[in-house]
Chain A
Amino acid sequence: MPSKTVSERRAYWGSMAALGLVLPAAVLAHSWGSLAEWYDRHGREPILVEGGVSPIYAGAAWRLVYLKRLPGPSAKAAVVLAEFEARVGKDTASMAGMCRIRLTDADGRLWAPTFTLEPIARKAYPGIEERPLCGGPAFAEAGPGGKVDMVATFLVPHDAVDLALLIGLAEAEPDTLLLKP
């Protein structure tokens, strides 16, 4: 075979082999940002806190006061009342967003709080409906060094055990805080 054809062939197969490397590399380079972002969102474990320790999250010291189980509105559900507090720091007071509060259980299921506090909790603990909502406005009002006492109620099935409170603030995410009693 003429030498030119041989070199042409070599170049052809060389290019084909390079494609196998370059194509995945190009896809990876292109989607690196999205992949990193996805990992940030899904791959990160929350900051775990057990017992009464107050960790610093979003510039504030947080503490779960208690999680209480109360009889639910129907036979299949229970009401969980969570009381928690934050000692506001300088960074926290400047935050604008609202907290994303979730209740988690041993299976990793996540419950959002009820839109309004459950009536049974309001009856058992009068005055809790006056507590501020977790978020920027309450932190700003308390100011640095101030303490914000907050409550939330959740509806969970009776088989939900090992409950813990998960707190997220937009400014501090993707880090979240998991408060265990």
Chain B
Amino acid sequence: MTAAWWSGNCSEKLSGAAGTRSARIGALHALSCRAKREVVGKQPFSLKQRIYALLIAGLGGTTAAAVSFAMSVYEAANPDPIPVLSANETVDTGRWLVTIRDARIGDIPPTGTKPFEPKRFLMVEMDLDNRSAGTSNAFQELVAIAEPAVEGLPRPTYYLARDRWIAGGINPNMSERVIATWEWPRDKPLPSEVRLTVAGQIYKPRDNLYGSPGWFRNGTAAVVVMPVGRKEPLL
């Protein structure tokens, strides 16, 4: 590093008669200039250096932000096509492997007990494989009916096929068959085909709020289109 970089102030001559105040300042100034030259490597950064550093950091940050923004704009404009699958094809949602097996309409829910008041149910049978590190019942949020869109359709009840009873959490690496059961409104026509969306989930080791690990919704992993079977007689 050359002295010319930083010593601009030091080359200034301070005039004044010996013994006056300004002379004392001039002497001090010269002293500090010499000290500066001697310990040049340990000096705090000069204004110029700081400006350079700020410029570089600012330019770098701006470039990073611009690239990130451009990428998200590009991704939003060119979304990955959502695969459209049919029955018995496995959807990888990130956390779960979902294989929808069958959709049917009936008047007896999976418990096998016919309700006292006649009702109609849309039952979607699926295999679920939990790929996360702990038991979870988040599968109940995965599958939704996109078509036919029915206003005010109540949330489905999930039954465990093994027990013919309401399903709780599903363990990792222990694939289970469950039956999602929607009670179909009496005044709505029964579908002959359904279009189901299967939501994806993404694992974040640190979320944006607390930095805690967790699974978060991540768009739609796949759409499954399948015919709806019927178990006659129906009301």
A and B touch in the complex (CB under 8 A): yes
Q: Which residues of A contact B35 (CB under 8 A)?
A: 1-2
B interface, by DSSP: helix, strand, loop or mixed? helix
Q: Which residues of A contact B31 (CB under 8 A)?
A: 2
CA distance A1 to B32 in the complex (A): 8
Q: Does B28 contact A (CB under 8 A)?
A: yes
Taken residue by residue from 1 to 44, chain A's Cβ proximity to chain B (1 for < 8 Å, 0 otherwise) reads as 11110001000000000000000000000000000000000000
Q: Which residues of B contact A4 (CB under 8 A)?
A: 32
User: Range of interface residues on chain B?
Assistant: under 10
Closest chain A residue to B31, Cβ basis: A2
* Nearest-Cβ distance from residue B8 to partner chain A, whole angstroms: 16
CA distance A4 to B25 in the complex (A): 13
User: Range of interface residues on chain A?
Assistant: under 10
Q: Which residues of A contact B44 (CB under 8 A)?
A: 8
Closest chain A residue to B42, Cβ basis: A5
**8 A Cβ contacts from B33-88 to A:** 35, 44
Closest chain B residue to A4, Cβ basis: B32
Q: Which residues of B contact A2 (CB under 8 A)?
A: 28, 31-32, 35
**8 A Cβ contacts from B96-139 to A:** none
Taken residue by residue from 1 to 42, chain B's Cβ proximity to chain A (1 for < 8 Å, 0 otherwise) reads as 000000000000000000000000000100110010000000
Q: Which residues of A contact B32 (CB under 8 A)?
A: 2-4
Q: Which residues of B contact A1 (CB under 8 A)?
A: 35
Closest chain B residue to A8, Cβ basis: B44
CA distance A3 to B31 in the complex (A): 11
CA distance A8 to B42 in the complex (A): 14
CA distance A2 to B29 in the complex (A): 9
* Nearest-Cβ distance from residue B9 to partner chain A, whole angstroms: 12
Q: Which residues of A contact B28 (CB under 8 A)?
A: 2-3
CA distance A7 to B65 in the complex (A): 39
CA distance A8 to B44 in the complex (A): 11
Closest chain A residue to B32, Cβ basis: A2
* Nearest-Cβ distance from residue B209 to partner chain A, whole angstroms: 17
* Nearest-Cβ distance from residue B102 to partner chain A, whole angstroms: 42
Q: Which residues of B contact A3 (CB under 8 A)?
A: 28, 32
Closest chain A residue to B29, Cβ basis: A2
Question: What is the interface of chain B, defined by CB distance below 8 A to chain A?
Answer: 28, 31-32, 35, 44
Other contacts beyond A1-B35, A4-B32: 7, CB < 8 A: A2-B28, A2-B31, A2-B32, A2-B35, A3-B28, A3-B32, A8-B44
Q: What are 7 A-to-B residue pairs whose CB atoms are below 8 Å?
A: A1-B35, A2-B31, A2-B32, A2-B35, A3-B28, A4-B32, A8-B44
Pairs A-B, 9 closest by C-beta atoms: A2-B32, A2-B35, A2-B31, A4-B32, A3-B28, A2-B28, A1-B35, A8-B44, A3-B32
